């Protein structure tokens, strides 16, 4: 925890590469670049970096700032906006120095998944200033990640090789993720390009689990549970023969788009009297609510399990179930307010592909769409191994 005494020392240390000072209150690009650089921790301090808002850069004097609640909210939103990937771990606080003014302090923890990018560029600290990382500096960050692996999706898949990846899919994704300026000056090998996005382990010389899930030609060959079991039943029980069934497998985009097509095909839309003499289309389920819950299952499931994601469509409800209960610091009480990512590389990719609108708000957003459409609230059944959401059909 940052104390008042420690903060005063940070303000006074004009040469520290763990501190950035500014008097700006609305320069989101500058704030985000600083957060990105501190998260990359290129000097390898393994200590937090601090963005101090309300301090003059050259003198270290306080500017007399009044830190509003809106400013603190804007700073906190740097984490969830999805422009800094992987998601940085940061906290925001306010310190009062009486007549000298207030400070807004953003404390940024070093990432276990470097390189971290802001809008496709990798920022690092070079002495007391920040800069865009060179190719060699990016490689060092990628190699550092190998010693900090903490999640299954970043582990090397030793049975696989680079031939098991679709480079066409990877290149398409890279165009979305990396800035055009960086790509234009790129001299990396194919392996280094993959490694920079956590899809390849340079030390083991094999793809990572994330690489196979995202761009693999046949992910299910290496990860038997990496598919979706889709079943559409005519009634309310599984005892009847399904109207439609499919085992959906393949790379991430193929899986997500195939389920989207199933949702569109089976989601009945009725005409309902609207305002005046106008009629409006009202679906049994709001499409994006179903997609939010499904994307959540893809992003948070335990890919070490051989159980597929189950998408079961009944006449009165839809059930989406995935292996892996709540993860990290998330509890039942904080399910809609807090997020920990079992698969941070998948989460980053889904945000870059626009399948995730904003981190930490998916369930809230889906609940709101269900309410607006006239559906009951979603129901959750969660234990330490399985996460199940039940979405009831809109009443007639």
Instruction: Identify the CATH number of the domain in which residue 52 sits.
Output: 3.30.950.30
- The Cα–Cα gap between 232 and 319 comes to 11
Q: Which one of 172, 190, 218 terminates a domain?
A: 218
Same domain, residue pair 247 and 293: yes
Q: Is 98 in the same domain as 155?
A: no
Same domain, 271 and 156: no
* Residue 54, in any domain of the structure: yes
Q: Give Cβ neighbours of residue 371 (< 8 Å, ≥ 6 apart).
A: 377
As given in the structure block, the two tokens for residue 69 are 């609640």
Three-state DSSP class for 237? coil
Clarify whether residues 261 and 370 are in a common domain: yes
Residue 14 lies in a domain: yes
- Burial code (b: 16+ CB inside 10 Å, e: under 16) for 347-361 equals bbbbbbbebbeebeb
Contact 252, 213 (CB under 8 A): yes
Q: Are residues 47 and 94 in the same domain?
A: yes
pLDDT in tens, the chain (396 residues): 788 889 988 888 888 899 999 999 999 999 999 999 999 999 888 899 999 999 998 888 999 999 999 999 999 999 888 889 888 989 999 999 998 999 999 999 999 888 999 998 999 998 888 999 988 888 888 777 766 667 889 899 999 999 999 999 999 998 888 877 777 777 788 998 898 888 999 889 999 999 999 999 999 999 999 999 999 999 999 999 999 999 999 999 999 999 999 999 999 988 776 665 566 778 999 999 999 999 999 998 999 999 999 999 999 999 999 998 777 666 677 666 666 678 888 988 888 888 876 666 788 889 999 999 999 999 999 887 899 999 999 998
Residues 295, 287 contacting (CB under 8 angstroms): no
φ, ψ at 128 (rounded to 5°): -85, 5
Total domains in the fold of the chain: 3
* Nearest of 373, 348, 229 to residue 288 by alpha carbon: 373
* Angle (deg, nearest 10), helices 252-266 and 344-352: 60
pTM, full prediction: 0.70
Give the pairing type, strands 317-323 and 309-313: antiparallel
- Mapped onto helix, strand or coil, the DSSP state of residue 109 is coil
**Domain membership of residue 213 as a residue range:** 149-218
Examine the domain organization and report whether 354 and 209 are in the same domain. no
């Amino acid at each position: 925890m940052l104390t008042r005494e420690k903060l005063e020392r940070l303000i006074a240390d004009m040469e520290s590469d763990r501190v950035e000072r500014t008097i700006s209150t609305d320069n989101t690009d500058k704030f985000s670049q600083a957060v990105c650089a501190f998260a990359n921790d290129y000097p390898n301090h393994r200590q937090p970096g601090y963005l101090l808002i309300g301090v003059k850069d050259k003198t270290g004097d306080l500017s007399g700032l009044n830190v509003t609640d809106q400013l603190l909210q804007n700073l906190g939103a740097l984490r969830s906006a999805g422009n800094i990937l992987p998601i940085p771990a940061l906290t925001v606080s306010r310190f009062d120095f009486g007549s000298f003014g207030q400070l807004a302090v953003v404390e940024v923890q070093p990432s276990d998944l470097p390189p971290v990018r802001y809008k496709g560029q990798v920022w690092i600290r070079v002495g007391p200033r920040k800069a865009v990382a060179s190719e060699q500096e990016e490689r060092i960050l990628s190699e550092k990640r190998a010693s900090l692996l903490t999640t299954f999706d970043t582990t090397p898949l030793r049975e696989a090789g680079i031939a098991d990846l679709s480079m066409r899919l990877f290149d398409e994704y890279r165009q979305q993720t990396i800035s055009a300026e960086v790509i234009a000056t790129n001299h990396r090998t194919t392996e280094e390009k993959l490694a920079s996005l956590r899809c390849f382990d340079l030390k083991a010389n094999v793809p990572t689990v994330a690489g196979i899930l995202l761009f693999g030609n046949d992910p299910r060959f290496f990860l038997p549970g990496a598919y979706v079991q889709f079943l559409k039943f005519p009634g309310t029980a599984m005892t009847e023969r399904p109207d439609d069934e499919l085992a959906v497998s393949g790379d991430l985009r193929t899986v997500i788009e195939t389920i989207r097509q199933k949702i569109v095909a089976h989601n009945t839309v009725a005409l309902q009297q609207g305002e005046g003499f106008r009629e409006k289309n009202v679906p049994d389920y709001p499409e994006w609510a179903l997609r939010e819950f499904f994307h959540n299952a893809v992003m948070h499931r335990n890919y070490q399990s051989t159980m597929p994601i189950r998408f079961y469509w009944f006449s009165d409800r839809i059930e989406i179930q995935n292996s892996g209960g709540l993860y990290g610091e998330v509890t039942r009480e904080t399910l809609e307010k807090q997020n920990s990512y079992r698969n941070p590389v998948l989460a980053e990719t889904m945000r870059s592909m626009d399948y995730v609108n904003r981190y930490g708000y998916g369930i809230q957003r889906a609940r709101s769409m269900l309410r607006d459409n006239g559906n009951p609230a979603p129901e959750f059944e969660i234990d330490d191994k399985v996460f199940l959401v039940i979405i009831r059909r809109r009443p007639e």
